[in-house]
Chain A
Amino acid sequence: MAMFQGKPRESWGEYLANLPAFFIRSIFRHNYPNNDVDRSEVVFKNFFLHFHPVKCHKHSLDPFYTLGLGAITTSLFLLLAFTGVILMFYYIPTEDRAYEIMKDWQNTTPFAMMYRNMHRWSAHMMVLFVFLHMSRVFYTGSYKGTRRFNWVIGTILMVLTLVLSFTGYLLPWDQLAFWAITVGSNIAGYVPNLPGFEYNVNRVMLLASTNVGQDALIRFYVLHVAFLPLVTGTLIGVHFWRIRKDGGLSRPPDRIRPDPLRVVQRSDTKESFAPGVKRTYGLMELVRGTCPTVDKGPYNFVFTWPHLLRAEMVAFLLTLVLILSLSLIDAPLEEPANPSKPTNPSKAPWYFLGLQEMVAYNAFWGGVAIPMLMVLGLMSIPYLDRNPHGEGYWFHRSRYIAIFFYTLFMTWQGILIIIGTYFRGANWGWMWPWTENFARH
């Protein structure tokens, strides 16, 4: 009787024939994900995909719910990291070299201008999309319940994005950069000084000097390429991780709930932790959270591969197309920084023009107090909003007051930025965009 004696040793011929598949399996450890098991495995076992869940709710894939804003923002961050590293290969952060290098490099090196444009446009777009993403989260009430703290992290990420953009603004070392940073750091200087310091310590801490110069340049450089990206990257990781732990993106409760009585207990421990059990595997049973039921497959859940990944891919490509098209417009490089020739008006980067506009009315309130209150106020929204309804719905009826005030706030900031950008001329005087504009030299 023939006994199974294990797998027969393969011949050299067989071995060689199987070698490619073998090699690929050694890398991927699973087959092509065309069945449910492999679809699970591909997400579970792949380093790059593992921060996704194996399955996700169909609602999360609805492009008209999320608008893909978070994915686009992430894509922008990735693009920024990539193009930023390329720019770092050339850039020298010294006063007398920085501008020359920029000029030299973008005139002679292949694709240099493209990378620079992409970096610049991605940075601007990231600021924009962070705000859009935040608005989406607010309007869908997604910061409620367990997601409260993730909103706070998001706010911190927003501030980090602004600071990243701001620090990067100085690096070309042209007039635009120089005076924008001078204005920006002056705004920082409106924070009341600590008693006993001769110079405004806040400003000096930012610039490493009393004015924008070599010290400021190197400080901004390190902040821009090392410190802030690390912090931001880490916090982005935390942001994602918390989403997963909160059971995916926010969504309205399922209309047809699975019947808890039909749940068949399969756990080996024969224990149930709660009525209407929602259980899953391993340790997760011990922690509180929402998990899909297991018996017949979670209702409305689909595999991440290909559904979610495909959607993310679309978001990424959409971003790439947007950025590449914008890159047809060249990033400006004005005359070299000249501390003795202030531009008139000197304008901060556009996302700070709202601040600058407010500073024009009152330095302390506009430059320090109100922005501080704005950030703190945004952070405290989830803790102030006691309305339990509306999570997962765009513009839920019960939240009309919250929506009204949030919209009012954002519109106000938007108007300030538009005024600062288009309606302010020399000496910060009012100027219609279509009237004769006076020169900047």
Chain B
Amino acid sequence: MRGDRFQIALIVLGIAVVCLLSYFFYKELFPEYRIYQNDYIALEKFRSTYTHEPPPAFSPGVKQIVFEREDKGPASIDRCISCHVATQLPHFSPTKIAHDANGNIKRNADGTPVQEPNENYVWMKLEEKIIALTDPKVNEQLKEQKEWGELKTRHDEAENLKALKVANVDDQIYDVTKVLRMHPLIGKETRPFEFHPIDDYGCTMCHSGNGRGLTTEKAHGPVYDGQYEIEHAGPTPQFLEKDFNNDPDFARVFNHKPSDSLLFQTTPILVGNLIQSSCVQCHAQNGITGLKKSEEKLTNDSQVNSLTTNYQRGEELFISQACYACHRIAGVARGGIGPELTREGDTYPWFLKESIVWPQADLKTSTMPNFMLDHVELEDLMTYLLAQKGQSKAVSPIAYKLNIQEWEAGRKASWEKPIPPSDIHNIDYGMTVFATEGCASCHRLEGFESSVGYRIEREAKPTFEAIAQERAWFRNMFPEDLRGSTIVKILEENSKEIDLRIVDKARQEGLLDKIDAEYPGLIESFYSNFRYATRAKNKLYQLEMDNAITPKQKETITKEEAIWKERVHRILLAYIQEYGLGRLIGPRLNWSGVYRSDQWLMEHFRNPAGHVPRSIMPIFPFDDTKFYALTYMLDVVGKRNRDAVHALWQHEGFNPALAYEMHCAQCHGDHLQGNGPVATWIYPIPKNLRNTEFMRNLTKDKAIDSIIHGIKGTPMAPWGEAPKDKENYDGIPVLSHEEATKLVNWLYKTLPGASVENLPKYQYSAAQVVNELHQEGGSLGINQTKETIDDVFRVVPNPVKGERADLYYIKKEYYTPENIEQGQRFFALNCAYCHGTDADGSGLRASIMSDAKPRMLTNLDWLKTADDLKLLRSIKYGVLGTSMTPWGDFTNSLQRLQLVMYIRSLSFDKERRDQLTEALYQVFNEKNLQIEKSRIVGYASLNAAQKEYDQIEKERTNPSISDEEALALFAKQLKLKRQLDELKKEDQLLLSKYDAVDQEQTLYASAGNALLSAGVDDHIWELFLKIIQVSDQKEQVKKMVDEINGLLEQNIKSQEQERIATQGRLPSPVRDHELHAIDLKIASNKRLQTLLSNLGAKG
């Protein structure tokens, strides 16, 4: 029996093996390309039935174009033509080139040949034949005549011809009419591959893809019509509404990650406009200037220009969307925050798309915001990025290298250059920079004007009330947060009313019109919802157009479509005037110029994370002069916006709800829950103002204080401040104290249990701290006697009028290494879990806290706002409404004091650095600013003179004027020339002075940094800061430098003594190590001495 079982098993298994092997055999016997080749042969046969010519000779099999490499590396092989056999055959093209009566090619104005339908198109003929064969009338007739044989042959033939049109491969159905097709003509071509012979270029050079593959999947990678196997349903741009009818094709492609077998194509095929990224590999180079030849080629060759519009727009977007500030592209952009994009063209298109629409997909910790780009922008930007393949084929490797080196050595791009002084106080210039060079990509700024306005403005000069009424109507109809479909709905329902009230040319041309004319599509790029609305009716009008018969109907449809698009654009402009230009990713800058000092703004431009820790804003590669211009622009626009708000308050009285909506809702959210549109990237997260516990703990007074003075070291702005270092300081803040009080009352009014009790925390005094210390028997370890308040604390009167009269700081002498070490130990054990081991607020538990994150305790700006007593209080009693629990039961007073000292000690270095920056700014930058200002005055007259000079030059060279006139003009010109030279000399003088100040600043900065890293003691440091203050007076500088050098000399002496003592010890590795350390200290002190002596000599 057992023998039988084995026998049966053998037979069954044998059959299985044979079946499996035959399956593999079958697959080899019918390769995919043979389907298309057989179809092609059949088509040619079909064609010969009506042309009566014999079908052309064609031998089936694998066909390929081989390019051997010079270095004998693997040849590049394109086998695409094995399937696409008809790429050069005119009868496989649906269109053909039109000829005029003389047989010449008809051409458009730009030289592209005119195309007309091709009557020899094989697929069309095939379609006709099928229709003829399946004609029901004929078939009925045949049926009646009982010609069954004939009927069957006709049916079979029709089926055969129909079968030619589709190919079934595995479970996919491919359209053969797309496979067997002539390559479309590009630009001025009159036959396929006229300018790019296929034998010289192959296919993959432009289309990418895997030339060696012989099946669709292997060669193309996924076919981006959504038919491919999806491994990972990826991030479709969720923020964009889907509109299947009207969205461009690009909305659908590259949204999903293909399955494993398709994912790892060596080079996936490029679809649609993305192919332009291949054109520029040879024809042009992006911003890599210095490649003169290819640049000329691009500018002269309007053909390539007109064929690579998407690429060029992508290049503009790379600047206007601020990509260049974070990403580096060798030769173009120097950003260093994001990944380098120099060779981004080597990555996969779907990875690119995913990275733009969902930056956190690949790297969870990425700080790139989602810019919510529309499909149109995405496609253009991707075309540009796919073209980044490092060195291009158009340039020799040496030229490329040279160019990159030049760029790395400091050649400046157009946006990095210093601006002429006349632009510094030019608001339009500043606002244009804001709109076009990346600021608007994240910030929204009110104050942009265009000619679009309310009808009442056009007709007469309206009163404030009338305009306010109109504005209220607009705000009501178009709230700031709008989805694209909502816009479409509103526009459809109220088109008449809108057209009646909002009109074009209601006032003078504004900046927006200028920007729109100069940078087409730029304004829309920030508003994907309006982009949605613009194309919302594409399909509808297309349908109507197809159904229209008379030219008049067609004309009205075109007109209607144009009206729709114009209306959307008009509303967008009105919307921008109402709410501001730009995206809401960072805070609104509407009033920044009012409550932020110029110094703060400049320092923020230079180092955004300096004042606002964890700010994701990159450092823009602008010159200082451009930052001056932006600062000035923000000052002026800020004041304007403030005045507009104040006018509104005057008109209808202060409205806390409206004020909250305007000023606070961007961060704290419409429903006061701390989740405004800007909140995503803000650190620390905006406070949830509905958190009753927290609000009660905060107290009303403190809340008013926070609004008036802001929270230093966080994005919370000082709404009630008006810094004095402005050009035209008027001291009026955005919110007065009274208004802030009203706002806070309004905030607390709706809190459940509104009465604010005085928590025990606020009775915690310095005396209690010391008492506790005594009771618990602790001691800070310096005086063995019991410490009094004055022993422990340095008492400083509170500069800000608030809850407490005095501020208490632990005296410096208690910052002993022992105390700090104890503090650190306790911190690492108990606090680091939330606050992070580096005390930067990024502990393990931080990520799960939702209402408030642990404080970043190394944030000096914030730390300075709290005195030591407040810190002690927060540790002992916790912070209600946050995860900071009361630690009073787990700590004693000594531990709390040590903790505070440890936390403070973390920022010593940063404190000095800040002092240095501030001192340098106050001394040198102020000076430079003054120089720039005086340059502006001179430059204006210089400009005027130059203009006049040019004018006379023009007149003088005019051949029609007489000799005498010319002579008179020449004399005048000569005089002007002298004047001009003088003015230029003056300007030059100022410029050189500017440079001198710059150099001096660098000198002091480097000395300061050296002192910082050497860790000198407080006395020397304070002396040095004083030196900066008096850097003008040579004598004093010298004296003080000598003083410092004397101190350093003392240090060196004591160190040398120490050295001698150490040398006397028995030789051991430890001794050698210590000796080395002492040597290093002495050397660094000596270096400091020479550095400072330089200062003394210079000063």
A110 CA to B214 CA, complexed, in Å = 12
Determine if B9 and A314 form an interchain contact, defined as CB atoms under 8 angstroms apart.
Answer: yes
What residues on A are CB-neighbors of B266 within 8 Å?
Answer: 103, 335-336
What residues on B are CB-neighbors of A320 within 8 Å?
Answer: 13, 17
What residues on A are CB-neighbors of B218 within 8 Å?
Answer: 107
Q: Contacting B264 at CB < 8 Å: which of A100, A334, A426? A: A334
Beyond A96-B74, A332-B264, is A107–B9 a contact (Cβ under 8 Å)? no
Which residues of chain A (161-213) have a CB below 8 Å from chain B?
174-175
Beyond A321-B16, A330-B261, A335-B264, is A438–B212 a contact (Cβ under 8 Å)? no
Interface majority SS (helix, strand, loop, mixed), chain A: helix
Beyond A103-B212, A439-B362, is A314–B28 a contact (Cβ under 8 Å)? no
B244 at the interface (CB under 8 A from A): no
Determine if A438 and B364 form an interchain contact, defined as CB atoms under 8 angstroms apart.
Answer: yes
B43 CB, nearest partner CB in chain A, Å: 25
What residues on A are CB-neighbors of B855 within 8 Å?
Answer: none
What residues on B are CB-neighbors of A96 within 8 Å?
Answer: 73-74
Beyond A335-B266, A441-B351, is A324–B257 a contact (Cβ under 8 Å)? no
What residues on B are CB-neighbors of A324 within 8 Å?
Answer: 17, 20-21, 24
B15 CB, nearest partner CB in chain A, Å: 10
B6 at the interface (CB under 8 A from A): yes
Determine if B13 and A321 form an interchain contact, defined as CB atoms under 8 angstroms apart.
Answer: yes
Which residues of chain A (309-354) have a CB below 8 Å from chain B?
310-311, 313-314, 317-318, 320-321, 324-325, 327-328, 330, 332-336
Beyond A426-B364, A439-B232, A439-B257, is A108–B10 a contact (Cβ under 8 Å)? no
The residue in chain A whose Cβ has the minimal distance to the Cβ of B260 is A332
A100 CA to B266 CA, complexed, in Å = 10
A111 at the interface (CB under 8 A from B): yes
A168 CB, nearest partner CB in chain B, Å: 19
Determine if A321 and B20 form an interchain contact, defined as CB atoms under 8 angstroms apart.
Answer: yes
Determine if A175 and B351 form an interchain contact, defined as CB atoms under 8 angstroms apart.
Answer: no
Determine if A111 and B24 form an interchain contact, defined as CB atoms under 8 angstroms apart.
Answer: yes
Which residues of chain A (79-105) have a CB below 8 Å from chain B?
96-97, 100-101, 103-104
What residues on B are CB-neighbors of A333 within 8 Å?
Answer: 264
A65 CB, nearest partner CB in chain B, Å: 13
B558 at the interface (CB under 8 A from A): no
Determine if B347 and A97 form an interchain contact, defined as CB atoms under 8 angstroms apart.
Answer: no
Most buried by B among A175, A320, A439: A439
Beyond A108-B214, A426-B364, is A310–B264 a contact (Cβ under 8 Å)? no
A26 at the interface (CB under 8 A from B): no
Q: Mark B258-271, 1 if CB is under 8 A from A, else 0.
A: 00110111100000
A325 CA to B19 CA, complexed, in Å = 10
Determine if A103 and B264 form an interchain contact, defined as CB atoms under 8 angstroms apart.
Answer: no
Q: Contacting B10 at CB < 8 Å: which of A314, A330, A332? A: A314
Determine if B13 and A97 form an interchain contact, defined as CB atoms under 8 angstroms apart.
Answer: no
Determine if B10 and A313 form an interchain contact, defined as CB atoms under 8 angstroms apart.
Answer: yes
B77 at the interface (CB under 8 A from A): yes
A288 CA to B218 CA, complexed, in Å = 63
B391 at the interface (CB under 8 A from A): no
A114 at the interface (CB under 8 A from B): yes
What residues on B are CB-neighbors of A318 within 8 Å?
Answer: 13
A178 CB, nearest partner CB in chain B, Å: 12
Q: Contacting B20 at CB < 8 Å: which of A104, A325, A335, A437? A: A325
B62 at the interface (CB under 8 A from A): yes
Q: Mark A97-125, 1 if CB is under 8 A from B, else 0.
A: 10011011001101100100000000000
A438 CA to B354 CA, complexed, in Å = 11
Most buried by A among B214, B257, B266: B266
A61 CA to B1 CA, complexed, in Å = 13
B753 at the interface (CB under 8 A from A): no
Determine if B62 and A108 form an interchain contact, defined as CB atoms under 8 angstroms apart.
Answer: yes
Q: Contacting A175 at CB < 8 Å: which of B264, B348, B354? A: B264
Q: Contacting A317 at CB < 8 Å: which of B13, B210, B232? A: B13
The residue in chain A whose Cβ has the minimal distance to the Cβ of B213 is A107
Determine if B6 and A310 form an interchain contact, defined as CB atoms under 8 angstroms apart.
Answer: yes
B538 at the interface (CB under 8 A from A): no
Determine if A103 and B210 form an interchain contact, defined as CB atoms under 8 angstroms apart.
Answer: yes
Which residues of chain B (209-248) have a CB below 8 Å from chain A?
210, 212-215, 218, 232, 234
Determine if B213 and A174 form an interchain contact, defined as CB atoms under 8 angstroms apart.
Answer: no
Determine if A108 and B212 form an interchain contact, defined as CB atoms under 8 angstroms apart.
Answer: yes
A96 CA to B73 CA, complexed, in Å = 7
Determine if A107 and B214 form an interchain contact, defined as CB atoms under 8 angstroms apart.
Answer: yes
What residues on B are CB-neighbors of A310 within 8 Å?
Answer: 3, 6-7, 10
A328 CA to B23 CA, complexed, in Å = 10
B203 CB, nearest partner CB in chain A, Å: 15
Determine if A314 and B6 form an interchain contact, defined as CB atoms under 8 angstroms apart.
Answer: yes
What residues on A are CB-neighbors of B261 within 8 Å?
Answer: 330, 332
What residues on A are CB-neighbors of B756 within 8 Å?
Answer: none
Determine if B24 and A114 form an interchain contact, defined as CB atoms under 8 angstroms apart.
Answer: yes
Provide 23 A-B residue pairs closer than 8 Å at the C-beta atoms, listed in order of the A residue. A97-B73, A97-B74, A100-B74, A100-B212, A101-B74, A103-B212, A107-B212, A107-B218, A108-B214, A111-B28, A307-B3, A314-B6, A314-B10, A321-B16, A321-B20, A327-B24, A330-B261, A332-B264, A333-B264, A334-B264, A426-B364, A439-B351, A441-B348
The residues of A with any CB-CB pair to B shorter than 8 Å are 61, 96-97, 100-101, 103-104, 107-108, 110-111, 114, 174-175, 306-307, 310-311, 313-314, 317-318, 320-321, 324-325, 327-328, 330, 332-336, 426, 437-439, 441
Q: A107-B218, A328-B23, A439-B351 are in contact. List 20 more A-B contacts (CB 8 A).
A: A61-B2, A103-B210, A103-B213, A104-B77, A107-B214, A108-B62, A306-B3, A311-B6, A317-B10, A317-B16, A321-B13, A327-B24, A332-B264, A333-B264, A334-B263, A335-B266, A437-B232, A438-B362, A439-B234, A441-B348
A-B residue pairs, 6 tightest by C-beta: A317-B13, A334-B264, A324-B20, A100-B74, A110-B28, A321-B16
